[in-house]
Amino acid sequence: MRTPITPKLFRVRKSMARIKYVVNERRLAYEGAVKIFKDNWEAGLAEKRKKKEADRQLLADKAGEEAKVKAKAEAEARREAGTEEGKAASLAARGVAGGTQGPNAYCKNLVLKRDYQAFLTSQTFPEEHRGAVFALRAFYVELATIQESVSSSVIGKMRMQFWRDAVKGFPDGRPPQHPIALALYEAYQKAKLPTYHLKRIIDARSYMHPPISRLIL
């Protein structure tokens, strides 16, 4: 036997149906919001990954270009440095073999041309020490004019490294075939010049990056 539907029972059932409807709508709205949030979140992650990959590729391309430029500059530096040192070595070889201009004479002429005041004051030293004085002054001139005689800072650094290696080889009796290096090595032997001070001179000049238009020695 069916229960008679009274007005009160009708209102209760109607209220329950409305509550179920509202709860279901809210559930659907919540699920829809969650789905939208998830889709946006995944899309954001995908965009971030895409941007990160693009940035990584950009950095890789930039690094590759910089590596190519650096390699080209170093190749030019080695070629130019080799040419300059080759010329000096050739001068030294001709001077030693032919007797026309040895390392000491080369240094003396260089100081005469590039540092005339030092050339004049060198005359006040005893004659047996003038070779060492000219070698040191020529060494100063060579270091001071590196930055203004090269086409790039990379070449300048390589030239400075050449002189570091040259001084480093003095204690082992291995001076490079460069007229200034040979004269400086002779002074090192005779006057017992400490290589530590020669290295400090090179390091001091290395920090002078701008071209030096006028010698301040």
Domain ranges of the chain: 8-206
Distance between CA atoms of residues 156 and 128, nearest Å:
34
Q: What's the pTM value of the predicted model, to 2 decimals?
A: 0.53
DSSP 125: S
The residues, ordered by sequence, that sit 6+ positions from 210 with a Cβ below 8 Å of its Cβ are 147
List the chain pLDDT tens, one digit each, 217 residues: 566 778 877 788 888 888 888 888 888 888 888 889 888 888 888 888 888 888 888 888 888 887 777 676 666 655 655 555 555 555 544 444 334 468 999 999 999 999 999 999 988 999 888 999 999 999 999 998 887 777 777 888 888 899 999 999 999 998 998 999 999 999 999 888 888 899 999 988 877 644 444 444 4
